[in-house]
């Protein structure tokens, strides 16, 4: 009889995991590839393969350190298909009813563990900078939960990029320097890529058989799948791309999928990297004169600012957060999000990249696919489930606040003070998508008008009652009001025609 079962989930591949920290060699570690986790949304095959391969390697590492690991592969004939089912099976096998788990990052799985008819102790996931209590204490009494103020507290708390009590360089935020349009050339070959070894190859064969019809290309597969590889990928980024990351972090190029981005979020979110080692590596590059402060600050802000803030919002708002829809949007997600043809080159390229890489950077997600969904009035829950499915770094704790809150404004302004909407002008400025597009980004109405231009004004008109008093949107409403009444009517009519054609499945 063993003392306890210690559950380790696929996004908890960290040796300092709270559930492991006080475990002894009398305990049995339980890890499982289960259908419930692989199918609750139609995950990108690369995401499934990454997690299964990383899980298997982590289990092997634990065994090498003397742990007993009960590992269930997806094709095991005794696989129960769920995490609670595997815990029950292993409890019967090893003669114990006690389970220690680290808190999952999704409400549905927390509920599943709470409902499991075993003695399950759920411990805090302290791999994050801010605990739930920390975030709630920060949020208490504030009228607005703005990320910038939270981020500054995290800087003070960690000492990252600080000069005593003041921010290094005299400024908290260097966003003004980080909005350069796409460069003519990119002198970075992209993230470090790894050739599949025997473990990865075996997983790729399994995933190809079971999930080959899911949206997304399984191969070529190049992700890191263990801590050593993930750390090499981090070093590669710090040395070769971080210096220009800040300048071009918002830029987009049709034929360059990575520009100067790190593409390490999937490693961080699965536990192969820790936020502190990432941030300290970036800070060291600045202190050594190898990267400018605008790049390093912008990078660190994404990790101890946005990432931690999103987690805080997710757990503070509760399990119903993903069903929020204050704008009342209800259109179905168009087929071109799943690869159907579209004449909108920006959407086509973003989705093409997503299919191939299970990755798109934050502006592609926010200002292309997210912006369009918001302008078009797509059901935010469908948008949420799409993002959760197609990106390798997506877990509900981080994805949902980014989509429901930041991207779709479905939470009514908890995350953002205004909706992130724009006409085609922003995309034209920050990318080369518009040059060869079927539509003309400079055409506001009539033949060849960019759909983003039409839908932008239709969105503004549709939600005037809610947003006209917002000081950050007043100028745009003034611009709308100055337009000739006939032009306004034509814009709304053409926007409506576009949306109706889209709903009917026509090529748009």
**Largest CA-CA distance found in the chain, in angstroms, rounded:** 81
The set of residues, in sequence order, having a beta carbon less than 8 Å from that of 157 and lying 6+ positions away, is: 129
pTM score: 0.97
How far, rounded to the nearest angstrom, does the alpha carbon of residue 367 sit from its chain's CA centroid?
Answer: 14
Q: What is the pLDDT of residues 18-36, one digit of tens each?
A: 999 989 999 999 999 999 9
Which residue is associated with the tokens 């070959």? 189
CATH assignment, 132-308: 1.25.40.80
**Arch. (CATH architecture) of 5-123:** 3-Layer(aba) Sandwich (3.40)
Rounded CA-CA distance 313/247 in Å is 28
Retrieve residue 110's tokens.
């927390």
Rounded CA-CA distance 47/216 in Å is 9
120: β partners: 99
Give the residue extent of every domain in the chain: 5-123, 132-308, 335-503
Q: What angle do CA 465, 469, 473 make, to 5 degrees?
A: 100
Q: What is the pLDDT of residues 284-340, one digit of tens each?
A: 999 999 999 999 999 999 999 999 999 999 999 999 999 999 999 999 999 999 999
In CATH terms, the fold of domain 335-503 is DNA Cyclobutane Dipyrimidine Photolyase, subunit A; domain 3 (1.10.579)
pLDDT tens, per residue, the chain with 508 residues: 688 999 999 999 999 999 999 899 999 999 999 999 999 999 999 999 999 999 999 999 999 999 999 999 999 999 999 999 999 999 999 999 999 999 999 999 999 999 999 999 999 999 999 999 999 999 999 999 999 999 999 999 999 999 999 999 999 999 888 989 989 899 999 999 999 999 999 999 999 999 999 999 999 999 999 999 999 999 999 999 999 999 999 999 999 999 999 999 999 999 999 999 999 999 999 999 999 999 999 999 999 999 999 999 999 999 999 999 999 999 999 999 999 999 999 999 999 999 999 999 999 999 999 999 999 999 999 999 999 999 999 999 999 999 999 999 999 999 999 999 999 999 999 999 999 999 999 999 999 999 999 999 999 999 999 999 999 999 999 999 999 999 999 999 999 999 999 999 999 9
Rounded CA-CA distance 105/127 in Å is 12
How confident is the model at residue 177, as a pLDDT? 86
């Amino acid at each position: 009889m063993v003392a306890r079962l210690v559950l380790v989930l696929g996004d908890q591949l960290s040796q300092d995991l709270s559930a492991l920290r006080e475990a002894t060699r009398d305990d049995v570690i339980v890890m499982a590839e289960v259908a419930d986790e692989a199918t609750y949304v139609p995950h990108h095959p690369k995401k499934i393969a990454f997690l299964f391969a990383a899980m298997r390697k982590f289990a092997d590492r634990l065994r090498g350190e003397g742990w007993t690991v009960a590992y269930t592969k997806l094709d095991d004939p005794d696989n129960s298909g769920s995490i609670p089912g595997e815990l029950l099976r292993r409890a019967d096998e090893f003669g114990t009813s006690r389970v220690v788990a680290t808190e999952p990052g999704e409400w549905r799985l927390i509920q599943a563990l709470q409902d499991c008819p075993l003695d399950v102790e759920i411990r805090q996931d302290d791999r994050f900078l801010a605990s739930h209590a920390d975030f709630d204490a920060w949020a208490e009494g504030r009228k607005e939960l703005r990320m910038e103020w939270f981020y500054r507290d995290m800087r003070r708390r960690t000492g990252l990029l600080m000069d005593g009590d003041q921010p290094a360089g005299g400024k908290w935020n260097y966003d003004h320097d980080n909005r350069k349009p796409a460069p003519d050339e990119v002198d970075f070959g992209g993230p470090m890529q790894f050739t599949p070894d025997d473990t990865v190859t075996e997983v790729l064969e399994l995933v190809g058989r079971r999930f080959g019809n899911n949206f997304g290309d399984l191969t070529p597969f190049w992700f890191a799948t263990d801590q050593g590889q993930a750390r090499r990928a981090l070093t590669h980024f710090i040395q070769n791309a971080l210096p220009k990351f800040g300048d071009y972090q918002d830029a987009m190029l049709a034929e360059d999928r990575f520009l100067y981005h790190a593409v390490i979020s999937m490693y961080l979110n699965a536990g192969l990297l820790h936020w502190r080692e990432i941030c300290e590596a970036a800070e060291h590059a600045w202190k050594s004169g190898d990267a400018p402060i605008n790049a390093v600050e912008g990078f660190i802000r994404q990790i101890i600012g946005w990432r931690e803030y999103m987690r805080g919002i997710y757990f503070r708002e509760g399990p119903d957060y993903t069903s929020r829809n204050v704008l009342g949007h209800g259109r179905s997600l168009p087929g071109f999000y799943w690869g159907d043809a579209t004449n909108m080159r920006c959407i086509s390229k973003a989705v093409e990249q997503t299919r191939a890489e299970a990755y798109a950077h934050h502006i592609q997600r926010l200002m292309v696919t997210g912006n369009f969904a918001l302008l078009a009035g797509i059901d935010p829950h469908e948008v949420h489930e799409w993002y959760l499915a197609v990106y390798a770094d997506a877990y509900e704790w981080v994805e949902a606040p980014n989509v429901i809150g930041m991207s779709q404004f479905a939470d009514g302004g908890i995350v953002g003070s205004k909706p992130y909407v724009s006409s085609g002008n922003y995309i034209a400025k920050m990318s080369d998508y518009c040059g060869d597009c079927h539509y003309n980004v400079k055409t506001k109405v009539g033949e060849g008008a960019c759909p983003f231009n039409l839908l932008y004004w239709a969105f503004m008109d549709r939600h005037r009652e809610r947003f006209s008093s917002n000081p950050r949107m007043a100028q745009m409403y003034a611009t709308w009001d100055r337009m000739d009444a006939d032009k306004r009517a034509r814009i709304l009519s053409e926007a409506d025609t576009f949306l109706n054609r889209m709903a009917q499945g026509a090529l748009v």
